[in-house]
């Protein structure tokens, strides 16, 4: 048989960002606005992660990180407006962050920057706009305004344990100091209003219950705004699992719509127990599966509402569907090598690339951001793409991540990172993982090593 044409190695146009957006003159600064404990850093992290996932280069410039270089562990008094030394240092940190951001744009390193700070006064926001205008940068202000006391308290509790400002401090003392810091900001805080009607802005009120949009100007700004409109910043987790071991897994075959094996059946029966161990007693989840038998069979014992999504079907391997990797290498040696060279962009003849999968998964990501308590049972390539989104894994590495069978993964987004815990079922299964440059040899996976909490601590780059 003839080899697959090499034209199926899809490479993005150098003049675009890889998502079809002309990028030569694009410079957008997303300026975060809001009091502390309103989820600004979480929103900034999510926006950058989303843009990276779509091949749009972005970076966060967190003013707090610049301020920590001079004042690593300040008390609330540092943020009092009557403290001239504190005001001087905070201003210097903001100037350093904006200077670095402007340099980053001038050097052509990216398309969208996130300026993460309170930016709590009209004068500060006007200064940022003037700097951006002088550099030819579009400024998009994003204000997170929240009066939900439960959410504010949840954010305070998280900050006292995760913020670099409070490392090694007593948690209760940290929480009290952080409340005092908020009070100092409240003295001077000015919400975006009609006096700033010339600004391009989005106001997210009470976790997106109410959204106000003003003067959105272009495609990329609209893309960011659409994403922001689907966000919520309430504490939550997402659960991910591959289907149980399938008959095709045992045979080492790609694709197909096979039934799960006897060991896969065993995992399906144990999965409700793993979910209870991770999510707790009594929590109701919604289960999303693909339309393929192996995910539906794996989820059938879960006592929750179930939804089937075509978008969660496995990567389409085209003419290689039903073949083993060894057969692919034998029949299409040039293409086997080409996929190893650039697995993210390589598209199977008549099938898909990982880049194609990301495009079809975007509605899933939007729905995940709107939702709470979701458990996804799907396939290896799909989980790699979803996992890469939440963990901000570079595209070139995401197709090479190991996602073992018979393991439940819990991801919990936080303000400064996403926490991960794995719950292995300790039910043997073949390993379908193949390292770059190697041949696929199916074998029983080794026993997982539990973490201190009973869940396996993941190494997301294992084998990459």
Please tell me the distance from the alpha carbon of residue 155 to that of residue 234, in angstroms, as a whole number. Answer: 9
Sheet holding 112-116, edge to edge: 58-62, 112-116, 28-33, 138-145, 200-205, 210-214
Task: State yes or no: 247 annotated in a binding site.
Answer: yes
**Residue 218 CB coordination number (10 Å):** 13
244 labeled part of a ligand binding site: yes
| 242 annotated among ligand-binding-site residues | yes
SS percent in the chain: helix, strand, coil, step 5:
40, 15, 40
Whether 226 has a binding-site annotation, put simply, is no
- Tell me if 155 is assigned to a ligand binding site: no
- Cα angle vertex 336, ends 330, 338, to 5°? 150
In angstroms, rounded to a whole number, what is the distance separating the alpha carbons of residues 311 and 290?
Answer: 7
Whole-number Å distance between alpha carbons of 312 and 335: 25
- Backbone torsions φ then ψ of 155, nearest 5 degrees: -70, -35
Distance CA 431, CA 165 (A): 42
Cα(115)–Cα(103) distance, integer angstroms: 14
Given the residues 186, 330, 334, 396, the one annotated as active site: 330
User: Which entry of 243, 379, 406, 442 is annotated as an active-site residue?
Assistant: 243
The strand pair at 112-116 and 138-145 is best described as unpaired
Q: Is 106 helix (H, G, I), strand (E, B) or coil?
A: helix
Would residue 243 show up in a list of annotated catalytic residues for this protein?
yes
Beta strands (DSSP E) in 133-226 are 138-145, 200-205, 210-214
Question: Any alpha helices (H) in 232-324, and if so which ranges?
Answer: 247-251, 262-279, 293-299
- CA 106, 112, 117, 123 dihedral sign is positive
CB contact at 8 A, 360 and 311: yes
**11 labeled part of a ligand binding site:** no
Catalytic site includes residue 442: no
Q: Is 294 labeled as ligand-binding?
A: yes
- What's the rounded Cα separation, in Å, for the pair 141 and 410? 32
Phi, psi of 172 (to 5 degrees): -70, -40
Number of alpha helices (DSSP H) and beta strands (DSSP E) in the chain: 14, 12
Contact criterion met (CB below 8 Å) for 151 and 234: yes
Q: Cα angle vertex 398, ends 393, 401, to 5°? A: 110
Catalytic residues: 243, 330
Which parts are annotated binding residues for substrate?
242-249, 294
């Amino acid at each position: 048989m003839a080899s697959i044409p090499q034209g199926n190695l899809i490479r993005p146009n150098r003049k675009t960002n890889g998502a079809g957006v002309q990028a030569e003159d694009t410079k957008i600064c997303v300026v975060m606005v809001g009091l502390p404990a309103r989820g600004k850093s979480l929103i900034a992290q999510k926006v950058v992660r989303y843009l990276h996932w779509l091949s749009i280069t972005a970076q966060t410039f967190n003013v707090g990180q610049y301020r920590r270089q001079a004042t690593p562990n300040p008390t609330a008094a540092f943020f009092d407006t009557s403290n001239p030394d504190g005001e001087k240092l905070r201003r210097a940190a903001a100037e350093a962050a904006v200077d670095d951001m402007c340099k980053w744009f001038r050097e052509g390193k990216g398309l969208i920057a996130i300026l993460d700070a309170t930016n709590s006064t009209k004068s500060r926001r006007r200064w940022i706009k003037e700097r951006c205008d002088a550099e030819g940068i579009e400024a998009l202000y994003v204000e997170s305004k929240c009066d939900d006391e439960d959410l504010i308290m949840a954010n305070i509790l998280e900050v006292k344990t995760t913020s670099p400002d409070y490392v090694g401090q007593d948690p209760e003392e940290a929480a009290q100091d952080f409340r005092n810091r908020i009070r100092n900001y409240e003295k001077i805080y000015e919400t975006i209003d009609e006096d700033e009607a010339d600004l391009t802005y989005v106001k997210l009120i009470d976790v997106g219950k109410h959204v106000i949009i003003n003067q959105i100007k272009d495609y990329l700004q609209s893309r960011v705004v659409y994403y922001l409109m689907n966000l919520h910043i309430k504490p939550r987790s997402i659960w991910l699992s591959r289907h149980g071991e399938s008959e095709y897994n045992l045979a080492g075959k790609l694709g197909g719509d096979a039934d799960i094996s006897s060991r896969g059946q065993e995992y399906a029966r144990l999965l409700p127990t793993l979910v209870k161990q991770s999510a707790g007693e009594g929590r109701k989840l919604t289960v999303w599966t693909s339309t393929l038998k192996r995910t539906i069979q794996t989820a059938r014992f879960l006592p929750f509402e179930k939804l089937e999504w075509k978008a969660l079907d496995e990567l389409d391997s085209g003419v290689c569907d039903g073949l083993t990797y060894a057969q692919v290498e034998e029949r299409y040696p040039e293409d086997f090598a080409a996929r190893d060279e650039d697995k993210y962009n390589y598209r199977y003849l008549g099938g898909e690339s990982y880049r194609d999968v990301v495009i079809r998964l975007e509605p899933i990501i939007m729905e995940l951001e709107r939702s709470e308590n979701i458990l996804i049972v799907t396939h290896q390539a799909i989980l790699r793409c979803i996992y890469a989104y939440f963990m901000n894994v570079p595209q070139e590495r995401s197709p090479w991540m190991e996602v073992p069978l018979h393991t439940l993964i819990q991801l919990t987004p936080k303000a400064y990172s996403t926490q991960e815990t794995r719950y292995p079922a300790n039910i043997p299964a073949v390993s379908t993982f193949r390292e770059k440059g190697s041949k696929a040899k199916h074998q029983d996976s080794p026993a997982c090593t539990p973490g201190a909490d009973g869940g396996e601590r993941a190494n997301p780059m294992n084998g990459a």
